[in-house]
Structure 1
Amino acid sequence: MSTPPLPQPVPCVQAQPNWQRVDFISDLHLDAREPATFDAWALHMAHTPADALFILGDLFEVWVGDDTHDPFALQCIAVLKATAQRIPVYFMCGNRDFLVGNALLNATSMQALSDPTVLDFGSADRANPTRILLSHGDALCLDDHDYLAFRAQVRQPDWQTAFLAKPLADRQAYARNVRNTSEARKQSHLNNPNSTGYADVDTQAAIAWLIAADAQVLLHGHTHKPAVHDLGQGLSRWVLSDWHADAKPPRLETLSWLRQKAQSPTRGLCRLPLSAV
């Protein structure tokens, strides 16, 4: 499958000169059945010293429309709104919450991000000019043919309009079926000794996107494989961690950009466990 084309010009967010720290998170898969992860996220949102926060998809385990106002959804909305009143919060949809719409964005004061979007630190840190290309990452998993076919279908405006017109109960039943199918697929991979696991981001596609966007770093989630990949040519790919408070050990971290402070060698991107906030 060919690399998906980038819009030209690529959407861009200009980092503000006063931003000392920027947090990036993704793949929290918030779910009422996992309260410990929600609690860790809510605490971080209330107390992070970041000057801006970028959520790069799959904040929710599933989102079937902005009329989903069950008690847990209302809790999430309250946390997002409180944070966005304190610092800018940017939201990019993922493969589980691609139906987040304007109603939720308006209710929480989050700012929508296109996938992909460039975050330009050039004017914010002249000693270390950097353009970071932000993406959820799923569009670049070119070997995951079944998923990309599904993605192409559900990202169509006509499909989304028809789906959102269905009763909420029907949408929730559809989401449960999709989630169960995904879990069954995951278990199949785990139980198959010959499985190579889920498809990862395609290296050549990542390089092509970075060159087209004039960016040095691709930062994404989706794969649940936190790592830093050297792509050559001064390019790299940073992968966000998923969040799971009940895992052994817990997976709870932000990927953060830090401006260099006086008498401190720390600058640029780094991984921070929640205990470091």
Structure 2
Amino acid sequence: MSAPSPDRLDQLRAPAHWQAVEFISDLHLQPGEPLTFDVWRAFLHRPTSERADALFILGDLFEVWVGDDVLESSASTDQTFWRACAEALKHFSGHTPVYFMAGNRDFLLGTEGLKACGMQGLSDPTTFDFLGQHWLLSHGDALCLADTDYMRFRQQVRQPAWQHDFLARPLSERTGIARGLREQSEARKRSTASDPSLWADVDAEAARDALRTAGAHTLIHGHTHRPGVHALGDDLQRVVLSDWDAAAEPPRAEVLRLDAQGLRRIPLPLS
């Protein structure tokens, strides 16, 4: 199986005055994980002087997103939580631009949801021009070619017709379907937890092809929850973002910062 070719490769050029940007992904914010939400909210509440010039969220900000109406519908039992997320982002984006790229958990975040959060949407992948270089940004799931079951699922749910039909269902039904899919996903994780060789990962040749198409040397992505730097040959590399889980042992919450010094991982305070 080959990686799906994007209909277009979007390009974002940083304004000349930008000196630093930050990347995060895979926070999987959800009502049942208050510790991670608290760390994230504290991150957003940093003084303006400590922030980068822009924040890039490369997918799976939310554990699940079943439609933008979760922010307004009284049928959503977790409406207060989702609105708190949106309001925190909206306040932050009043001072710092926020760019959002959909992940495999929150690809149904639509125009109204982006507006409520004060975020600007990015296509996956996007080429980012900054500091005199091209950087390729992606969530990463479309490059995990060995995970054939997921790739078939992804192809189905990214179809406009499927999304239209799903979003036309009652919110309670959508929430139930999403809960069932999450339970299946968690069961699959548990079944492979003891054997890292079974974990899905980005296909190296697909990553190289994507970089060459973009004219970039570094791919920055999330999804795999395996932070690190992987050399791909020919001076190409991929840099993997950390997931966030403040309740894990040890806890995880990290930002990737890019400035004139290069790429740096910055652990966040967890208390």
- The TM-score bracket by the shorter chain reads over 0.9
Q: What one-letter code is carried by the residue in structure 2 that aligns with 1:243? A: W
1:19 corresponding residue in structure 2: 18
1:255 corresponding residue in structure 2: 256
Q: What one-letter code is carried by the residue in structure 2 that aligns with 1:170? A: E
CA distance in 2, matches of 1:7, 1:156: 13
Which among 49, 52, 59 is matched to residue 50 of structure 1?
Answer: 52
Listed one character per residue, the Cα deviations across residues 2-48 of structure 1 (whole Å, up to 9, x for unaligned) are: 1322445x211111222222110000000111111001001111215
1:85 corresponding residue in structure 2: 94
- 1:94 partnered with 2:97: no
Listed one character per residue, the Cα deviations across residues 113-167 of structure 1 (whole Å, up to 9, x for unaligned) are: 000001101xxx3xxx221100000000000000000000000000000000000
Q: What one-letter code is carried by the residue in structure 1 that aligns with 2:170? A: P
The CA RMSD measured in Å over matched residues stands at 1.4
Identity over aligned pairs, percent = 54
- 1:172 partnered with 2:164: no
Listed one character per residue, the Cα deviations across residues 163-214 of structure 1 (whole Å, up to 9, x for unaligned) are: 00000000000000000000000111125x5x62321000000000000000
CA distance in 1, matches of 2:251, 2:236: 30
Which among 137, 141, 145 is matched to residue 142 of structure 1?
Answer: 145
Listed one character per residue, the Cα deviations across residues 72-101 of structure 1 (whole Å, up to 9, x for unaligned) are: 000000111011101110000000000000
User: Does the CA-based 8 Å contact 2:39-2:269 persist in structure 1?
Assistant: no
User: Does the CA-based 8 Å contact 1:54-1:90 persist in structure 2?
Assistant: yes
1:270, distance to aligned residue in structure 2 (A): 1.2
Secondary structure of 2:31's counterpart equals coil
CA distance in 2, matches of 1:216, 1:6: 19
CA distance in 2, matches of 1:3, 1:152: 11
CA distance in 1, matches of 2:123, 2:151: 18
Bigger drift between 182-191 and 238-247 goes to 182-191
Q: What one-letter code is carried by the residue in structure 1 that aligns with 2:214? A: A
2:135 corresponding residue in structure 1: 132
Listed one character per residue, the Cα deviations across residues 201-254 of structure 1 (whole Å, up to 9, x for unaligned) are: 000000000000001100000000001011111111000000000111110100
2:5 corresponding residue in structure 1: 5
**Matched residues, number:** 260
Secondary structure of 1:22's counterpart equals strand
1:230 corresponding residue in structure 2: 231
Q: What one-letter code is carried by the residue in structure 1 that aligns with 2:127? A: V
CA distance in 2, matches of 1:190, 1:20: 40
- 1:103 partnered with 2:102: no
1:203 corresponding residue in structure 2: 204
Secondary structure of 1:81's counterpart equals helix
User: Does the CA-based 8 Å contact 1:6-1:209 persist in structure 2?
Assistant: no
CA distance in 2, matches of 1:272, 1:151: 32
1:114 corresponding residue in structure 2: 123
CA distance in 2, matches of 1:197, 1:45: 35
CA distance in 2, matches of 1:5, 1:93: 16
CA distance in 1, matches of 2:138, 2:202: 11
CA distance in 2, matches of 1:96, 1:178: 10
- 1:187 partnered with 2:190: yes
Unaligned runs of 5+ in 2: 72-78
CA distance in 2, matches of 1:7, 1:223: 24
Which among 227, 245, 268 is matched to residue 262 of structure 2?
Answer: 268
CA distance in 2, matches of 1:24, 1:112: 14
2:69 corresponding residue in structure 1: 67
CA distance in 2, matches of 1:244, 1:138: 19
Q: What one-letter code is carried by the residue in structure 2 that aligns with 1:117? A: T
TM-score by length of 1: 0.91
1:275, distance to aligned residue in structure 2 (A): 4.0
User: Does the CA-based 8 Å contact 2:21-2:52 persist in structure 1?
Assistant: yes
1:107, distance to aligned residue in structure 2 (A): 1.5
TM-score by length of 2: 0.93
User: Does the CA-based 8 Å contact 1:66-1:101 persist in structure 2?
Assistant: yes
